[in-house]
Structure 1
Amino acid sequence: RKHPDWMARDSSGRPFTTMIHMGYERLVGLCLNSPYREAIRNVVNEIVANYEIDGIYIDGVYQTPCQCCYCKTKFMEEYGLELPKFDGCEGLFVPKLDYNSPLARLYHRWLMELIREVFSTIRNDVKRLKDIPIIFNYGDAGGRRARRNLLQYADGLLFEMPRDFLDRMRWATLGRSTGKMMWQYVGTYGHAYGVLSPPCFWLSIPYDRQELALEGYLTIASGATPLVYSLNRYYYEEGGRSFAKEIFTFMKKNAHVLRDLRLKKFIALPFSQRTTDWYPKCSGEFGFDECMRGFFKLLIHCHYQVEAVWEDAILTNYDELRKYKILCLSNFACMSDEEAEVVKRFVRDGGGLLATYETSLYDEDGHRRDDFALKDLFHVSFYGEKKPTLRTVETYIRILKEHPITKGLSVGRRLPQDGNYIVVRELEGSSVLADTYLMHKHSSLGPCVVASRYGRGRIVYISSAIERLYYYLHFPELRKLIQNAVKWISGGVIPFEVDAPSGVITILAEKDDAYLMHLINYTGDILERPHCRFEYIAPVRNISIKINVPKNRSVSSIFRLTNNKKIKYKKDNATVKFNISELGKYEGVLINFSTSSH
């Protein structure tokens, strides 16, 4: 009220309101181009300079879409242009604009640069006054307003709001790919991802019981540290104390084991910020992130070791990429020529590639190419697309050939197909294992599942977004197809094999002298839309596990972390086999190594 000129304004000059927040009415956004910017700096500097604090957590920095006098003047001074007109937002803080417009893209980049500039200034202020860590809110990493360029200024990250249980693991591994420390809230889901609706609209509806402990174990297994949301509620509410205590007791007891662990590298699943920003189809119920969520869940349900990683962590750093055996490009539509060359080099040198739908069909700015940038790897050529309709949705994946990828799926069998698919034509060197089949016309639209080789590497390309379909419906036939594809691409060399229901989550971490396999029992209702409550976890019995032992290492002992009991095992060449007779909610299996004399 004292500074009305600080308020963000819409095109009509009215104060720009944002979201309902924690019991307040709708909040009025403030503009970082106004004197509000210096007010933020002054508050932070006062706290850091005058109080004995160990660190500082920055929830923002946010910039509400704004057409105030400060923004208009600055944009005109920098570009000689008027601000684009918009009415309202899509999601939080993202103006409704036609992002195919050069002016809209310029405005978006201008906002992102403003946020980066403010955050870097605050960081420099803090570090000048005290050498304390800065923790950054990582909660919006998946949207168009994502602030990937801010992560370089933070010492650690906090992730707030997952869409579902496995989304915690996806964002934990994504955060860790930056090399930063990572914390995650446990005990809450986010309204922003469509999980909750009125009257429970805000992001943080706390809950307890078994799922609180499960989330804690998953966070630990993913390489992050759990933070119990709204911990102060335990002063007056005893229900969840035992489950929160269970997590931190486990961490304290096994600190010597958990310290310095790193995830075993096998499959890299990169997040494409450019696709999220500029892919024309990122709207409504379809987009890149939806596909990536589906593929992450699909690979986890196959018991494969997978990490979500930022695209620039591996596609601009070949030495980091080559640590993985397989690169999975889940509708990675917007790809630069430079990134395509890195992928080609990776496969040529013996890496594996699994790609879907419109991967590499657009350049880094979202302009569609005439053909795939990875055409030489896919061994198919783009021919056209079909917009989903009631007719085109009635399509299937029809198995055409016997092959290790189609093992267990008989020739002629029709598998569920996502309504989002493109038409491609095979090129020399491809092996078409399945086609896109129009049921109502009894005709083929061309290749769907294509296997090929390039240099010393193997490739499987799928012309539809089957991972999106799996995200919602968990068809086991699609899981079988991907399970076979990964095994073929890898040449059968995979870190471990687990015979257990798909809901048993397996994560392998390593250090120089040991492996730690996490097993998390999430075999209940794993179709989480909306999220389910559960109070009882049925035990899973007789889980058999086979793990590849590192070169020049020999297994010396295997223990269960929950009770410190030894596990009997059998050695077989370069593998070790053992059984878990019964799995409750969690088990950690510690495999100790000694140096082999062979």
Structure 2
Amino acid sequence: WYSYEFAKKHPDWEQLISSAEPYGKIHPLYGNGTTFCVNSPWRNWAFRLIKETMKTGVDGIFLDGPVVFSDCCYCQYCEEKFKKTYGENLPEKEDWQNFLWKDFIEFRRDSLAEFLRDAQKAMKEINSEGVIFLNAGGWQPSGWRVARDIEKMQDYQDFNGAEEFFHPKAEKSILATSMMAKYLTAGMKPAVVFNHYAMGSWHYIPLMPLEIKLALAQIIANRANPWICVFDPLAKNIGEKEPVAEVLGFAEENEEYYLKTSSLAKVAVHFSRQTSTYYLSQYTSLYKDLGTGKEEGLVLDQGTGKLVVDWERRKSINESLLHHSYIGCYLSLIRSHTLFDIILDKNLTSEKLKEYEVLVLPNSACLSENQRKAIKEFVRKGGKLFASFETGFYDEKGNLLEDKEWKEFLGIEEIEDLFPPMVGENYMTATEEFAGFPKSQLIERPIQTLKVRAKKSTRTPLFYLKPLPKIYMSLQGVSASPALLISKYGKGKVVYSPSLLEAFYGEYRIESTSQLITQIVKMLSLEEIIKMDAPSAVEIEVYEQKDSSRYIIHLINATGDMQRPIKEIIPVRNIKISLKVKQARKIYQLNNKETIPFVHEKERIEFVIPELKLYEVVVVEI
């Protein structure tokens, strides 16, 4: 952010939108200010400032920005650099059918990464041991709009960091901070989650203490570093320091239990930056206005049915679907107490996948040829795959593929079309007892659903009912289209859902959908490392400290008073835990250092946590 007065002295430094107007003029930053381009001479001014700052003796530099804003940058320096790199002029507008537009997206990301690279170089010229990191963005699919990508940036920074702030009225999950922390730790660098104590945009009033404590506990339990911003310069507000001191004081006192840990998870969930950047579904009916499906005063909101035709809006629809897919998958697995890691695009290699038993691809639509080969090899050698909707139907740049072998790998003989999207009154049914559903049980059908035919020898335990165009109509019977395909490939197994199951749960929170997701993952897993009998609002994360011969179990209780900000956490008592381990010497809680009795049976130990308030760490010495 820079003032307009300063920008007037350097008019060629500003980021320009496609109309050649300064971004800050059309979209004032924080209501009053503008932004500069990473390819302009401003970069050299910034590097000099970094050097001068390092000369004062500070340990490093945190860059809260810069970013390349949406519809930017069309300044003379970007024009020249793009022409030199790609031999063409900058594309005039957003057009996902134009290869040049996709080059422009990559150009923006490369430009930001190169700025960070050169900033790091400038910093290290003064202090070779110094650190530098950027507010580089999180898991959200819209990150491409500001050119943020930790996979692109992490080579030039010492931490992967992103914001996860609380805001009243925002429809955020209680697990939002947990999700951000787990995503950032998927990178190659230490992770830090930027948090603040403020009541949203009321920066001089502290957030409810339990919200602060819960966020910090979720961060450290997921192996990320906490970072909290305080806006009150005089610390006049009561209660702003105590929750921070309590959680971080506990972590400091027990620091040895947080270091050199390794994940025990055998399930990997793919969060794809390729897909979030380039995915634009081929199915045009996906872009119809469907309304909310809400019924009020004898009126049902089913939208206009009109087709959205502009590229920006279509891209936003795809981002929203992917956004809810990630949330739905994350919430389902956390709430079922399933251990899992998030993996990124660069992790889809044969070597990395050896660490896992189950790979979950929640509509990972855009995959490279090498990634698809690695996934098939993983399954052929005994791995288990759970994929949904258009997974692998496009290459890494979003170009539609005609890969019949990949579709056969998923168990598909033919894709006919998309079922008419509709909110409500469409169903699938179990044609056999499956995933806890009895035969003939009706299950809510996700809105976005492909009509496919399964190849021979593929198990199909669920089928869609024939679609209904309106609510309150009689059911028309079971269709010929399977709702789940289960097939073998080599020594492994593939489960494919033609529906956007994860997005449906992420948006509508219908429990039967979550049950289906979690039971499929459990079915594919060889044996649960840890089992816990506790409410779904209790998160569990488990790590191993091999050097110290012990397991570290983190328990975070988000069982609150049903609204946010949370005023009260409801304690959970007598939590039964079963851990797969050949032997154990001692089990104890870090909060009170009390020893926990346990029983050992068939290479598992069982014990009970008497009470969990908000956060506890249990140590199992082996």
TM-score scaled by length of structure 2: 0.84
Query: Could you say if the C-alpha distance between residues 246 and 372 of structure 1 is closer, same or farther in structure 2, counting changes exceeding 3 Å?
Result: farther
Query: Could you say if the C-alpha distance between residues 368 and 436 of structure 1 is closer, same or farther in structure 2, counting changes exceeding 3 Å?
Result: farther
Q: Partner of 1:523 in structure 2? A: 559
Q: Partner of 2:284 in structure 1? A: none
Q: Partner of 1:226 in structure 2? A: 226
Q: Partner of 1:262 in structure 2? A: 262
Q: Partner of 1:138 in structure 2? A: 136
Q: Partner of 2:14 in structure 1? A: 7
Whether 1:504 aligns to 2:538 is yes
Pick from 164, 178, 183 the counterpart of residue 187 of structure 2: 178
Q: Partner of 1:459 in structure 2? A: 494
CA RMSD in angstroms comes to 2.5
The residue matched to 2:460 in structure 1 has which SS?
strand
Q: Distance in 2 between matches of 1:365 and 1:204?
A: 44
1:309-348 matches, cutoff 5 A: 309-312=343-346, 314-316=347-349, 318-348=350-380
Which letter does structure 1 place at the counterpart of 2:621?
N
Query: Could you say if the C-alpha distance between residues 422 and 233 of structure 1 is closer, same or farther in structure 2, counting changes exceeding 3 Å?
Result: farther
Q: Distance in 1 between matches of 2:83 and 2:256?
A: 58
Query: Could you say if the C-alpha distance between residues 586 and 421 of structure 1 is closer, same or farther in structure 2, counting changes exceeding 3 Å?
Result: same
Q: Partner of 1:84 in structure 2? A: 91
Q: Partner of 1:448 in structure 2? A: 483
The residue matched to 1:235 in structure 2 has which SS?
coil
Q: Partner of 1:572 in structure 2? A: 601
Q: Which region of structure 1 is more displaced relative to structure 2, 575-584 or 162-171?
A: 162-171
The residue matched to 1:338 in structure 2 has which SS?
helix
The residue matched to 2:593 in structure 1 has which SS?
coil
The residue matched to 1:150 in structure 2 has which SS?
helix
Q: Partner of 1:193 in structure 2? A: none
Which letter does structure 2 place at the counterpart of 1:450?
L
- Contact residue 135 and residue 162 of structure 2 kept, 8 A: yes
1:16-165 matches, cutoff 5 A: 16-17=23-24, 21=29, 24-48=30-54, 50-64=55-69, 65-86=72-93, 97-130=94-127, 131-142=129-140, 143-144=143-144, 145-147=147-149, 148-161=151-164, 163-165=172-174
TM-score scaled by length of structure 1: 0.87
Identity %: 27
The residue matched to 2:514 in structure 1 has which SS?
helix
Q: Distance in 1 between matches of 2:11 and 2:435?
A: 67
Query: Could you say if the C-alpha distance between residues 132 and 13 of structure 1 is closer, same or farther in structure 2, counting changes exceeding 3 Å?
Result: same
Q: Distance in 2 between matches of 1:175 and 1:578?
A: 32
1:108-507 matches, cutoff 5 A: 108-130=105-127, 131-142=129-140, 143-144=143-144, 145-147=147-149, 148-161=151-164, 163-187=172-196, 200=201, 207-230=207-230, 232=232, 235-281=235-281, 282-284=315-317, 286-312=320-346, 314-316=347-349, 318-371=350-403, 374-386=406-418, 389-390=421-422, 394-402=425-433, 406-438=434-466, 440=468, 441-444=476-479, 446-491=481-526, 493-507=527-541
Q: Distance in 2 between matches of 1:79 and 1:586?
A: 53
Which letter does structure 2 place at the counterpart of 1:500?
A
Q: Distance in 2 between matches of 1:382 and 1:38?
A: 56
Query: Could you say if the C-alpha distance between residues 13 and 548 of structure 1 is closer, same or farther in structure 2, counting changes exceeding 3 Å?
Result: same
- Contact residue 399 and residue 433 of structure 1 kept, 8 A: yes
Q: Which region of structure 1 is more displaced relative to structure 2, 471-480 or 209-218?
A: 471-480
Q: Which region of structure 1 is more displaced relative to structure 2, 474-483 or 115-124?
A: 474-483
Q: Distance in 2 between matches of 1:561 and 1:247?
A: 12
Shift of 1:562: 1.3
Deviations 1:119-168 (A, max 9, x none): 21111222232121222213345322233311111111222126543232
Q: Partner of 2:592 in structure 1? A: 563
Q: Which region of structure 1 is more displaced relative to structure 2, 61-70 or 38-47?
A: 61-70
Deviations 1:306-353 (A, max 9, x none): 1212120x213x222211121110000011121111111111222221
Which letter does structure 2 place at the counterpart of 1:565?
E
Q: Partner of 1:92 in structure 2? A: none
The residue matched to 1:332 in structure 2 has which SS?
coil
Query: Could you say if the C-alpha distance between residues 458 and 11 of structure 1 is closer, same or farther in structure 2, counting changes exceeding 3 Å?
Result: closer
Q: Distance in 1 between matches of 2:414 and 2:615?
A: 46
Q: Distance in 2 between matches of 1:338 and 1:12?
A: 39
Q: Distance in 2 between matches of 1:343 and 1:570?
A: 40
Shift of 1:188: 5.8
Say how many residue pairs are matched.
557
Which letter does structure 2 place at the counterpart of 1:482?
I
Query: Could you say if the C-alpha distance between residues 482 and 101 of structure 1 is closer, same or farther in structure 2, counting changes exceeding 3 Å?
Result: same
Q: Partner of 1:94 in structure 2? A: none
Shift of 1:231: 6.2
Shift of 1:189: 9.0
The residue matched to 2:9 in structure 1 has which SS?
coil
List runs of 5+ in structure 2 lacking aligned partners: 1-7, 166-171, 282-314, 469-475
The residue matched to 2:49 in structure 1 has which SS?
helix
Shift of 1:371: 4.8
Shift of 1:377: 3.3
Query: Could you say if the C-alpha distance between residues 105 and 416 of structure 1 is closer, same or farther in structure 2, counting changes exceeding 3 Å?
Result: same
Q: Distance in 1 between matches of 2:331 and 2:247?
A: 24
Deviations 1:503-557 (A, max 9, x none): 111111111111111111112367xxxx8212111112222111111xxx52001
- Contact residue 6 and residue 30 of structure 1 kept, 8 A: yes
